[in-house]
Structure 1
């Protein structure tokens, strides 16, 4: 049996790390029979911890699990799991998981890796300031679930109207902060979707599901994903939503917003094209 995992900046890797010190294909981990190997193909190097010291990996070297590897700001632990144990695992019936039909919000802080590489303190300040701005807004509009993603967050709301109201207020407060500070502006991408989420517990509360994945893909979508893009799509400082979310908004007390149809986008890992709208506000970046 031979298996491998590629780690790097390129999206086709099994593990993608977005950082300017990470090469497109930085490191490849492989298993050949009962032996494990790490092969470095980076410019800045990968390191394996031997005893109390870090040793740079040169080419392809054998590693002995459990092993600790380092590349840029990340540590990775390579461990051995007895294959037979997987046959004894128990799948939890879907009915025993917490299922919700709700509005999903994803926020991403743009250019955070570049900012961190230039000024770690500024990157830390921006993330702290974002937390200070976002926490009271999300609470005000009845957030049900919240999880930090490092460069942003994932949140859910019981209905689409509250999710949109929270999103618009969050954008408004961020932009007012940008106007008043001499520090670097907070640039962002926001995505809204409506669908099913499944609550699980794996070292802490989390949610999963295809609709969660769709929301993350909408957040990062760019012009190339559309077969027939109908508008100029801003790269950042924007709010995008799915057709599902827009349909839900039509059922409630709709805040005063202007939506523009972008078109159907092919999103990575999503089987069907997703219809996407731009929610244009006075803060929307001009493409």
Structure 2
């Protein structure tokens, strides 16, 4: 049953800008009244005009900062760049120990709107991004970066996946590269950041049919595959707008991997004659350029939209399994695996077959992951998956105990990720096995 929206709740998609003064408590403790006066002057002369010029609104002041809302990510970033530059100019003569500098975080999210405040996970991420920004800097989420790339007078460096306080999953973040010495240090920092786990770009598929009228179908496969892969939990998939900048270019996959900071690239071609459609696809590890997997699909031509859905579904499922296997192999060679490495190894063991040995091995990996990161939702859910699968296939003698353990850990996981579909599926199976399904 579809849950009805509570009466009076307004929601909308917004670009959220969170800002605060770095070291505000120290500044107020040292020189309270001058600090307060400088802060108010910077808001009036730099921040408020920039936000108004770019059609944003100050939602609320937070004592040492503020929260603003925009209808456009581009406008939010332009406003932040503008007031950060002006604040730097206005405070250039101040001593280091008394200079006021703002940190800014920007995210896109679906927010709950009230007259004098906004709420939601999107707001929380903006606030956490602000907390990792440097004084005078701007830190944006990957979703913001995809919208503003090439559209604002600023460059951003990929600083990788960030584990933010009270945010369940890592957030890919980008930091503004500033002038002077900061540029070298930030770009150097970028070069040292390893590509995230499960990061992939779907390059535009090539139309080999010699018929430009088929471009729409080829592009549709590329776009739909990008969308389906991005729905995989824990994946980082480069947006279609960025991926399509490589259309028609000779692909140096190692260079593309470095430019986009991704581990894998998926490329392919589609060829259609009168009666058949052929799809060639390959998954490449960008660091080495080695082919991890390749396949070819031949289908009789039928309804193109139905065929597109079928091709994308088959590709997404297969690529998902191949990426898990590739990440598991990489983790085997990692001297100090983290929780995510161990989860991928566990999932690979889980995928190897419904045998007692593979499921036992998978559970050991998930237990090790929870030892490193006790609150990891994915490790909890996959450990429950092992128990549920062992019970469903009668590979365990302690069925009631395993089901009880699975239910306990699933309820804990759902308290942190209440919309996790796989967790709900597993919990439903537990309820069916214990005759409590309604």
Deviation at 1:258, TM superposition (A): 1.3
From 23, 36, 42, give the equivalent of 1:111: 23
Residues 97 and 284 (structure 1 numbering): CA distance in 2 closer, same or farther, change over 3 Å?
Answer: farther
Per the alignment, do residues 272 and 182 of structure 1 end up closer, same or farther by CA in structure 2, a change over 3 Å counting?
closer
Matched, 1:97 2:9: yes
SS of the equivalent of 2:90 reads helix
Root-mean-square deviation (CA, aligned residues, Å) is 2.5
| Greater Cα radius of gyration, structure 1 or 2 | 2
Distance 1:191 1:100 in 2: 19
Q: Which residue of 2 aligns with 1:197?
A: 111
CA distance in 2, matches of 1:238, 1:104: 16
**Structure 1, unaligned stretches of length 5 or more?**
1-91, 222-233
Q: Would the alpha carbon gap of residues 219 and 94 (structure 1) be closer, same or farther in structure 2, given more than 3 Å must change?
A: farther
Deviation at 1:140, TM superposition (A): 0.8
Indicate the SS of the match to 1:147: strand
Counterparts of 2:41 and 2:58, CA distance in 1:
20
Q: Shift in Å at residue 168 of structure 1?
A: 0.7
CA contact (8 A) 1:145 1:157 kept: no
Cα pair 2:57 2:69 within 8 Å, conserved: yes
Structure 1 equivalent of residue 138 of structure 2: 239
Give 1:143's aligned residue: 56
Match of 1:254 in 2: 151
Residue 187 (structure 1) aligned with residue 84 (structure 2): no
| TM-score for both structures, normalised by structure 2 | 0.38
Pick the aligned partner of 2:124 from 195, 199, 213: 213
Q: Deviations over 1:102-134 (max 9, x none)?
A: 111111101111111111112211221222121
For residues 249 and 104 of structure 1, the distance between their equivalents in structure 2, rounded to whole angstroms, comes to 14
The answer on whether the counterparts of 1:237 and 1:284 sit within 8 Å (CA) in structure 2 is no
> Whose RCO is larger (CA < 8 A, sep 6+)?
1
Matched, 1:273 2:170: yes
Task: Decide whether the 8 Å contact of 1:144 with 1:158 is kept in 2.
Answer: no
Q: Residues 120 and 256 from structure 1, CA distance in 2 versus in 1: closer, same or farther, beyond 3 angstroms? A: closer
Pick closer, same or farther for the CA change 1:95–1:186 going to 2, 3 Å: same
Tell me the SS of whatever aligns to 2:60: strand
Tell me the distance in 2 between the aligned counterparts of 1:178 and 1:247.
32
Deviations 1:66-91 (A, max 9, x none): xxxxxxxxxxxxxxxxxxxxxxxxxx
Question: 1:13-51: CA deviations, max 9, x gaps?
Answer: xxxxxxxxxxxxxxxxxxxxxxxxxxxxxxxxxxxxxxx
1:136, distance to aligned residue in structure 2 (A) = 1.2
Q: Secondary structure at the match of 1:96?
A: coil
Q: Provide closer, same or farther for how the CA distance between residues 115 and 181 of structure 1 changes in structure 2, counting only shifts above 3 A.
A: closer
CA distance in 1, matches of 2:180, 2:60: 25
Q: SS of the counterpart of 1:125?
A: helix
Q: What TM-score do you get using the length of structure 1 for normalisation? A: 0.57
Structure with more strand by fraction: 1
SS at match of 2:88: helix
Q: CA deviation at 1:144?
A: 3.6
Q: Gaps spanning 5+ residues in structure 2: where?
A: 187-438
How many Å separate the matches in 2 of 1:191 and 1:180?
Answer: 26
